[in-house]
A and B are shown apart, each in its own frame.
Chain A
Amino acid sequence: MTTLQEDKLIDCSGMLCPVPVIKTSKAIKEIQIGQVLKMISTDPGAPPDMEAWARQTGNELLDSHQESGKFIFYFRRVK
């Protein structure tokens, strides 16, 4: 189990593609470089989408796992 501590949390539960990607891209701009964003989603398409988003934007996906039916992501803002 991860002990990551987020600086900001967004909950995208109930939202489908592309909203989690859009909300994540907005939220990451609201934290400082080096800080951590936690995103919660119920969209089954989110895991591959969020991995791709991190790859494309150059931000780091620190952790991604499932917790009681929800998808949890931790990103570190790199740029």
Chain B
Amino acid sequence: MSKSDPNAPRRLAIIASKGTLDWAYPPMILASAGAAMGWDVAIFHTFYGLPLLLKELQAEVSPLGNPAMPMKMPFGPDGFQKIDWPIPIAMMAAPGFNALATNLMKQLFKNKGVASIPELRAMCVEAGVNMIACQMTMSVFGFQKEDFIPECTVGGAGMFLDYAADADVQLFI
């Protein structure tokens, strides 16, 4: 996998280590943008970033323990949408609050013209981004290759570092 050819395209190596809906965005956006710029791109999905490869994406977001997350409504007049709602911590722990916050974030992003995570992931796959599933994480959490999108490959730290050693940009997300 060494980049010995001086005319080879630029290379971007990303580690996706988080799997909540908010943190699913940065690796998918950067990978798809890199591929669109003609770069060679790989995302190493490890720990909580691994479920981002599941055929059925389940990424959710919680404002609990996420104090910088703005709580904005995706509907209503402009002034209403700008309000950052102060949600008491106790309410964030209520059953169904994750689902509510997740739906609000999905709707907000959609209304603003941001692609969804399944759409961005499809764009990555179509553009040839190498989506690597971490074998160790698969073994620990009991995932099988068949649980993931068929385009992904399976590898470990050695495989990723071999790729990243010759990358122009390396990111841990």
Residues of A within 8 A of B (CB): 14-19, 21-22, 24-26, 42-43, 49, 52-53, 56-58
On whether the beta carbons of B113 and A21 are closer than 8 Å, the reply is no
What residues of A have a CB within 8 angstroms of the CB of B112 in the complex? 16
Inter-chain CA distance A26–B33, complex, in Å, is 12
Residues of B at the A interface (CB closer than 8 Å) are 10, 29-30, 32-33, 35-39, 112-115, 120, 123, 127
Q: What 6 pairs across the A-B complex have the smallest Cβ distances?
A: A25-B36, A18-B33, A56-B37, A22-B36, A16-B113, A14-B113
A52 engages B29 (CB within 8 Å):
no
Q: Tell whether, in the assembled complex, residue B123 and residue A22 are in contact, meaning their CB atoms are under 8 Å apart.
A: yes
Q: Please name all residues of chain A whose beta carbon is closer than 8 Å to the beta carbon of B113 when the two chains form the complex.
A: 14-16, 19, 42-43
> Majority SS of interface residues in chain A?
helix
CB-based contact A25/B29 at 8 Å: no
Q: How many Å lie between the Cα of A42 and that of B112 in the bound state?
A: 11
Residues on A with beta carbons closer than 8 Å to the beta carbon of B123: 22
Q: A22–B127 Cα gap in the complex (Å)?
A: 9
Residue numbers in B under 8 Å from A14 (CB-CB): 113
B29 and A24: CB pair below 8 A?
no
Q: Which residues of B contact A49 (CB under 8 A)?
A: 33
Q: How far is the CA of A58 from the CA of B9 in the complex (A)?
A: 11
A25 vs B38: C-alpha distance when bound (angstroms): 8
Across the interface, which residues of A come within 8 angstroms of B115, CB to CB? 15-16, 18-19
- CA of A25 to CA of B112, assembled, Å: 22
CA A14 – CA B111 in complex, angstroms?
9
Separation in Å of the B24 CB from the closest CB of chain A?
A: 14
Given known contacts A14-B113, A15-B113, A22 and B32 CB-to-CB distance under 8 angstroms: yes
User: CB distance A21 to B37 under 8 Å?
Assistant: yes
Contact A53 B114, CB 8 Å, known A17-B29, A18-B32, A22-B127: no
- Residue of A17, A22, A43 most packed against chain B (CB within 10 A): A22
- List of B residues within 8 angstroms of A42 by Cβ: 113
Assembly CA distance A25 to B34 (angstroms)? 11
On chain A, the residues within 8 Å of B10 by CB distance are 56
